[in-house]
Amino acid sequence: MTYLSASFYAKTPAGDRFRALLEKPGILPIPGAHNGLAAQQAAKAGFSACYLSGGAMSASMGLPDLGIITVDDVAWFIRQVTRASGLPVLVDGDTGYGEALNVMHMVRTFEDSGAAALHLEDQILPKKCGHLNDKKLASPQDMAAKVAAAAHARRHIYIIARTDAAASEGIEGAVARAKLYMEAGADAIFPEALITEGMFREFARRMPGVPLLANMTEFGKTPFYTQEQFQEWGYKMVIWPVTSLRVAALAQEKLYTAIKKDGGTHNCVDQMLTRKDLYATIDYDGFEALDSTIVKTIVPEAIPQ
């Protein structure tokens, strides 16, 4: 079923569908999907939600994750991913692209583009990936004002407040901030760049009853943990933010190297999705079936495997 058909769309708002997923027992795994095709593949693999990372969106545009991309850039990604997959999408809202009014504009834009949830962080610009050093933090009160502004602007979107304070203020500071952000209207908390099992457990112990999000990014400060471990420690959501882009980027790098070396793609065919499988993923037949004036392009039996 393609996004062009009204029956593709759920009648329930995306934020409410995201909340319903969190009401189910266990942890909600949310893989990153850096474009529409990746989101379709995540849905096909059986995931119930996906994530749009600021780092992945920036890198896919050839830019570093330093707060350069705009609200409109992100809205384009949201529309692409939601219409391709139909999944509830959690979106990285960085620092909110400014102060209170800018945050409210972001919320309205994200909701109108189809987002189900967002997270907002307590860094100041130029912001950095949460797993880099020398991050500069906003005051707790300024961040709480942004959270309150986001809550005031939303109709249904689920608001997650991210704190990067553990690196500079320790668990005590991160927990104090998290409690203030919850009072300001956040639905959940994302403690970024915790580096030991003990830190994850202690943060959860001090935030009883609060839905918590864990970030399992590769090559960062957090060791590799599984979703089962995060669930055991008291976390309700886990993201793998940039993984899909990293895998795709390495495959593309190998492809271009091979073309340059071999003068063609003949040595890479076994690493490619076949035409048949690609068309099945993007529902080529479904789009053609919507318009009887389109002559069927491909006879399935004739598609090379």
Catalytic residues: 51, 65, 92, 94, 119, 121, 129, 162, 192, 215
Cβ 92 vs Cβ 53: under 8 Å? yes
- Closest by Cα among 21, 2, 66, 52 to 187: 21
Rounded to whole angstroms, the Cα distance separating 120 from 104 reads 12
b/e code 84-112 from CB counts within 10 Å (16+ = b): bbbbbbbbbbbbbbeebeebbbbbebbbe
Name residue 29's beta-bridge partners: 238
- One-letter amino acid of 221: K
Q: Which two tokens stand for residue 103?
A: 């945050």
Chain-centroid distance of CA 193 in Å reads: 16
Distances from the Cα of 283 to the Cαs of 20, 46, 128, 287, 289, in angstroms?
27, 16, 37, 7, 10
- Tally the residues of the chain: 305
For residue 172, report the phi and psi dihedrals to the nearest 5 degrees. -60, -50
Q: How many CB atoms lie within 10 A of CB 55?
A: 24
Q: Provide CB contacts within 8 A for 298, sequence distance 6+.
A: 275, 279, 284
- Closest by Cα among 229, 230, 95, 100 to 163: 95
